[in-house]
Amino acid sequence: MLTADRLIVALDVPAREAALDLVRTLRPKVRSYKIGLELFTACGPALVREILATGAQVFLDLKLHDIPNTAARAAVEATRLGVGLFTIHLSGGAMMARRVADEVETHCQLYGVPRPRILGVTVLTSLSQEDLGPLGIARPIEEQVVALAEIARQAGLDGVVASPREVRRVREAVGGALLIVTPGIRPAGADADDQARTMTPREAVAAGADHIVVGRPITAARDPLEAAELILMQLDGR
């Protein structure tokens, strides 16, 4: 995989122009951009289409989590938008995950459109071990992540989203069967912000991540393109 393909920049901004400015600035080096809940709620599908029209790839990170029928119908709409990747929340259960995978596959075969890669979110990077107890989860966080990754594999998903701290365990458990997309990436010396389980870009890839998601260290930098270039250099081991 080319180094440039490993980096996904999170457009965690609240407005259309701010997002498009970042894409225009970063496009010489960055091919993939994550649109999450804040930006999608503010701007909707129209912005997804605008970014796709630039030739960039969109990772739609809405973490779909609902009854199987509703989640599957939303997943088909994400597919119709033309995004390259989108997320569901694995805490929605195996039936929901399987229904999403099946409905997307059926839609793509019926209409002859490219199939996006479906990623299952395991445990949010903002959560620590202490946060799991009140949620009724007694097992260690790494075991919880691996168990959810196995649900993703059996349901026919393409990959999972996991913190860099669990990447190695997930890779050992699933081998090459799943993509691993890793948020919570912070360059050496950067502030962790609201992430509880972080790692540097190079460490995450060395542990087995296929793609890393980086937001504020790039988007809040004085020179976002330079910040992105530095991260790409770190991925190259330079």
Asked if residues 156 and 180 have their Cβ atoms less than 8 Å apart, the reply is no
**Cα separations (Å) of 135 from 87, 130, 143?**
21, 10, 15
Residue 179 CA to residue 124 CA, distance in Å, equals 17
Going by C-beta distance under 8 Å and a sequence separation of 6 or more, which residues neighbour residue 178? 149, 152, 153, 157, 158, 159, 160, 170
Write down all domains in the chain, each with its CATH number in brackets: 3-235 (3.20.20.70)
Radius of gyration of the chain from its Cα atoms, rounded to whole angstroms = 17
The upper half-sphere exposure of residue 91, i.e. CA atoms within 13 Å in the direction of its Cβ, equals: 12
Global pTM value: 0.93
pLDDT tens series, the chain, 238 aa: 667 889 999 999 989 999 999 999 999 999 999 999 999 999 999 999 999 999 999 999 999 999 999 999 999 999 999 999 999 999 999 999 999 999 999 999 999 999 999 999 999 888 889 999 999 999 999 999 999 999 999 999 999 999 888 999 999 999 999 999 999 887 765 554 544 556 888 888 989 999 999 999 999 999 999 999 999 988 876 5
219: left (phi over 0), alpha (psi -120 to 50) or beta: alpha
One-letter amino acid identity for 190?
A
What is the structure's pLDDT at 222? Answer: 95
**Catalytically active residues, by annotation:** 63
